[in-house]
A and B are shown apart, each in its own frame.
Chain A
Amino acid sequence: MAASGRARHPARVHPTTGPPPMRRAAARGPHDGFRSGQVIATWLMAIIFIALAAYFVYTVDDRDPVVQQIIETQSQDIALIPEAALTTEPRRQTLADPPRIEINGYIRTCNECHDLLKSTVEVLPRTLTQHTHIVLQHGMNDRCLYCHDAEDRSKLTMLGGEKIPFTESPRLCAKCHGTTYRDWQAGTHGRTNGYWDTSRGPQKRLLCAECHEPHRPAYPPYQPLPGPYMLRTDPDNHQPIHAPEDAEHVNPLRMWRTGMHGHAAEAADAESSHEADPYDDPEPDASSHDGTEDDHDQDQESHTPEEGG
């Protein structure tokens, strides 16, 4: 197209022997060999530029074999959070009315035993032969019969001697924890599940004993789920890769692209204790951790003051 446009012009000029510049300007678009060579060069450069641009665009991420390999490996090795860890069920179950509990492998109601075997006077330290798994750490509330009814063990006792079933246990807690009970009634203490809009679905407000163990009501410690950039597993030994010491200063993108290989070695020798699934046991038990993890934890704690200071 450009060539034919140029061809209409009678003036055939030469860069050196051609007409003076004024005349050349009058002849719109001179077309000698030099010029057409320039045009070809321009087109060539344009094509090469487009080609390079296209090459960069389509090789920028997914075509990079290293990145591709990381994506493929990681998609197979994403450490899954166990379903049990994300349950929305209450952490504890409350007792029915009358309560049935397991004693020596049998499911029994309270009065099956307590009607026959009258318990002795409660002295401290207790000399219990049954219910020995109960740890009573409820502050100054340190007698069984402050809450349990002395005559009917399948009931709880209120201040005035009223017997209430186990299903109404929040009223019993309110004997002492009045402000918390008031908050709970208003919904500002405790857990709510279901629908915020009660016109569209049910709402369940958890009872005191669905979170707190009544004999030891302080909320027990919990195993935390992994933090950011800790879910990556090393494809060689399937161990979680933990963030490096200066993790706060790591570019997330760089971490994702190159981080796996850099931290695999550290992860392999230090984190062997993490292969056990920590969510099997819902009740945290300090005695079940081995020495390696304790060391690691101490490392963490020794870093905390630095980070805090």
Chain B
Amino acid sequence: MDHTDCSSQHDQRHVGTSSGTPTPYRAGLTRRSFLRRSTAAVGGMAALVAALSPLKDLDVEDMFSVERFLQKHYKELSPEELEKVLERIRAQVERDYKFRPELKDIKATEGVQFVYGLNLSRCIGCRRCVHACVKENNQSRSPEIQYIRVLEIPRGTIDIEHSNHYYDRKEVPDPDSFYMPVQCHQCKKPPCVKVCPIEATWQEADGITVIDYDWCIGCRYCEAACPYWARRFNFAKPTYAQDDEGNYLLNHTMTYLSNRPRQQGVMEKCHFCLQRTRVGRLPACLEVCPVGARKFGDVTDPESEVSQILRSKRIFVLKKEVGTEPRFFYYFDERHPQTKTSAPTVTIEGLEPGGRTGGGH
């Protein structure tokens, strides 16, 4: 088709109007080729405009922020630049969620090493920690993101492969099960940090592994690398619950590295509530635990609760064989107190000391 076309125009091209250009060999613009090219160009432009038309409904700032795009890595930010970044995030939160957050950046305290202990003898699997964490750390409610998974494991095994974290009982604990909450273990040798191609996640001086949500590209390598299944991905922009007046039910105390609202396409995970623990408070999951199964503190202080547990209790870490050296450990009491306690028969219970030796081990 083109072949015949071109041969017929061959001669004309030499004398084609070149609109003042000095080169005598400029391609001639015949009516036909002009129409062809302009039709193609107009068609192409129309297709492009049609394709980009959804953009006109979009809030440009919502999709893309030049400041955010040009922002440096968290560790390279000077204090002034960091303050500018925090101000940008404050404004963004105010625009999206209609309140001005108390957003700060709290640095790690030198000489503090956070350690978390969890008493498997006490945990009753009530999932208070899961939802206190969601509330404290502004996790997305839809799609649902939870940092803590409470595994229900049959009594007599520690077989995580056969555990169930979807248990739906009318009351806990189940006498035939024990409960093992799993969250980020803040490993001393974190595989998730090792695999991150862009250093968007790293370990801080106090042992907390954090994520720069503005630097993460969402490749999810860290999620695959984590042996504790502790990392969560924002498949969509987080959705939060609202009260009747339309106010977003969010925690207003935020820090850059922890619980500020995340965007679509970034990883997140437990960070030991660093907005609380770095100002001396206890994590939200610990404070809500009704049985006191969770213990948190500075392991460099020999009088702290975790140090005393490490000295006096039988402890273990999950998946020790993978060599991650977690800062999160589990421990036991001498006896398991939750064996058949809810048995209603008074006469038999009265004969047993404290109802504690009814079985279980």
A interface, CB within 8 angstroms of B: 3-4, 6-10, 12, 14-17, 31-34, 36-37, 40, 43-44, 47-48, 50-52, 54-55, 58-59, 61-63, 67, 71, 74-75, 78, 80-81, 85-88, 91, 135, 137-140, 142, 179, 183, 186-197, 199-201, 206, 211, 217-232, 242-243, 247-248, 252-253, 256, 278, 284, 286, 289, 293, 296-297, 300-301, 304, 307-309
Contacts and interface: CB of A to CB of B under 8 A. Distances in A.
Contacts of B58: 58
A218 B354 contact: yes
A34 B27 contact: no
Given A8-B25, A196-B297, A48 B280 contact: no
Interface in B180-238: 235-237
Interface of B: 2-3, 5-7, 9-10, 13-14, 18, 21, 23, 25-27, 33, 36-37, 40, 43-45, 47-48, 50-52, 54-55, 58, 124-128, 130-132, 134-135, 141-144, 146, 149-150, 154, 157, 159, 162-174, 176-177, 235-237, 239-242, 249, 264, 277, 279-282, 286-292, 295-298, 304-305, 308-309, 312-313, 333-334, 337-338, 341-342, 346, 349-356
A252 to B, nearest CB: 7
The 3 closest A-B pairs by CB, nearest first: A33-B6, A191-B292, A200-B280
Contacts of A183: 312, 333
B26 A7 contact: yes
Contacts of B2: 33-34, 37
B25 A224 contact: no
A182 to B, nearest CB: 9
Among B18, B131, B166, which residue has the most Cβ atoms of chain A within 10 A?
Answer: B166
Nearest to A72: B239
A33 B11 CA distance: 12
Nearest to B13: A12
Given A86-B131, A196-B277, A256-B236, 6 more contacts: A44-B44, A59-B54, A71-B142, A74-B239, A86-B288, A224-B171
A3 B26 CA distance: 8
6 contacts: A3-B26, A14-B6, A40-B37, A58-B52, A222-B290, A300-B168
Given A44-B40, A191-B291, A227-B168, A36 B27 contact: yes
Contacts of A284: 171
